[in-house]
Amino acid sequence: LAMIVMKFGGTSVESAAAIERVASIVRERLDRQPVVVVSAMGKTTNRLLALAEKACAGERAEAARLLEELAAYTLGEARQVCRAEDWAPLSGFIESHFQELSAFLDELAGLGEFPAQYVDLISSYGERLSSRIVATAFKHFGMNGVHVDAREVIITDRRHTQAAPLYSRSYAKLDERVKPLAQQGQVVVMGGFIGSTQDGFTTTLGRGGSDFSASIVGAGIGADEIQIWTDVDGMLTCDPRILPGGHRVKMISFAEAAELAYFGAKVLHPATVVPAVEKNIPVLILNSRNADNPGTRIVAEAVPCANPVKSIACKRNITIVNIQSLRMLMAHGFLKRIFDVFDRFQTPVDMVTTSEVSVSLTIDNTTHLDEICAELRKIADVSTDNTQSLVCLVGDNIRDTPGLGARAFGALRDINISMITQGASKLNLSLIVLDSDLQRAVKALHDEFFATLDEKVFDA
Ligand code: ADP
Ligand code: ASP
Ligand code: MG
């Protein structure tokens, strides 16, 4: 009998009422042997990181006040979804975890900085708490909820804040610890986002990583579906935070979804598709506030579609690095030397354009920007620009639709475009525009490419 993984994001577990909705969604699917993965409640991860930063900056009292507030919120919501007989152990669990957090704040105040191991340790509490609370809540709502600490089954490398799973070890643990519980009719609840190294240090898979956790769990237990429950009806034709009124995409391929996620569609963590593709498990994006909506189904192959573009993703506040060197005219090895620098500082490059003596590229992560520029200045003139946004058209048909570029540029005729690339995958066409033009650009492109809709693929 097949199993499913159901992942619920922060807004889906942000309150007692939201957790009750989750419980009823899961209860209706008990025959499919669900394993549940949850994010931290609401904005807990951001709040934990913000208060830890206060402690590092010497504002220990303010950090303590914010921690109190978070504890009160967590206890207040948990209380309402807990049976009387479970409250003593559950509240004890929550309170002892907040005491541990308080002790870490003292350490951070002493350190005066926030090392990556501590970032992981502190942010892990969000999912450790939410998963325990939801497991207990399931009992209150008549299910056999059981908590599994995700750090015992998701094993990762040591790259704190950006850890990569060790797949075969994690799959073996999931098969051994989680699968039998689901087969016995228990509803396992575990936290997303978190894992541990082989020697037991807490790690995280990167922000938004609970989607990725769900997919690792699905692959590890041999699930036949991975459901990502969130706060929108599915993958939409544009980012609703930039432009409301987009249409639901009913079906999309793994490759298209990965491209959209990578270029800013926050609804899915970009790595989510990796385990799902490997084991060919369909991924669904569904709305926990509108559970009857069929959502988006992500499948191996793109279905034939009359629209060349499936969706428009965007990333605000990216940084362009312009590199120019006349000395490099006709010389070989220029690009290699440039990319070596980005590689050494573990900074991914999103877009690249080149001419004979200059290279412009975009990055999202500016942690090491100063060091990178200092290195590059040894071989070239370097300037940076952080007033730009990336807009990315994604669709499997882009590769063989002639005139698509002309349509895009026509739609943007009043807007200055500072860089253009067609991704090597040929699934995307990316443009860089000023942050201040982003909304106008997305609207113009959306009007151009979604004026008519193929109803097999889009919810009109
Ligand atoms: P969760 O907490 O459930 O993981 P997220 O906030 O991480 O939720 O992701 C859902 C959000 O992603 C949506 O509320 C929406 O604002 C944003 N989003 C960005 N691009 C898209 C898109 N193309 N389709 C749907 N949602 C998108
Ligand atoms: N709670 C984590 C975050 O806010 C992981 C997630 O929500 O997917 O990044
Ligand atoms: Mg998310």
The model's pLDDT over 83-93, given as tens digits with 9 standing for 90+, comes to 999 999 999 99
The amino acid at 397: N
Q: Is 25 in the pocket of ligand 2 (CB under 6 A)?
A: no
| Listed range (29-33, 145-149, 327-331, 332-336) with the worst mean pLDDT | 327-331
Secondary structure, 3-state, 305-349: CCCCCCEEEEEEEEEEEEEECHHHCCCCCHHHHHHHHHHHCCCCE
Residue 356 has pLDDT above 80, yes or no: no
Predicted pLDDT of residue 330:
60
Range scoring the smallest mean pLDDT among 19-33, 154-168, 314-328: 314-328
Q: Is 235 in the pocket of ligand 1 (CB under 6 A)?
A: yes
Among the listed ranges 267-281, 286-300, 341-355, which one has the minimum average pLDDT value? 341-355
Helix (H, G, I), strand (E, B) or coil at 150: helix
Task: Determine if ligand 1 sits within 6 Å of the CB of residue 231.
Answer: yes
Confidence of residue 389 (pLDDT cuts 50, 70, 90): very high
Contact at 8 Å (CB) between 66 and 54? yes
pLDDT exceeds cutoff 90 at 182: yes
Residue whose token pair is 């992981």: 120
Q: Tell me: pLDDT of 71 over 80.
A: yes
pLDDT at 424: 61
pLDDT at 302 over 80: yes
User: Does residue 126's CB lie within 6 angstroms of at least one atom of ligand 1?
Assistant: no
Mean pLDDT, the chain, rounded, equals 95
CB of 39 within 6 A of ligand 2: the answer is yes
Q: How far apart are CA 368 and CA 136, in angstroms?
A: 43
Average pLDDT over residues 184-208: 98
Residue 103 has pLDDT above 80, yes or no: yes
Q: Which two tokens stand for residue 437?
A: 């033009």
Greatest C-alpha distance within the chain? 77
Compute, in angstroms, the gap from residue 447 CA to the centroid of ligand 2.
Answer: 32
pLDDT of residue 335: 85
Lowest-confidence pick of 157-171, 336-350, 444-458:
336-350
Q: For residue 42, is pLDDT > 90?
A: yes
Looking at residues 334-345, what average pLDDT do you find? 91
pLDDT, residue 399, reads: 82
* Spacing, Cα 67 to ligand 2 middle (Å): 18
Mean pLDDT of 9-21: 98
Q: Residue 425: pLDDT band by 50, 70, 90 thresholds?
A: low
Q: Whose C-alpha lies nearest to ligand 2, atom 5?
A: 208
pLDDT tier at 423, thresholds 50, 70, 90? low
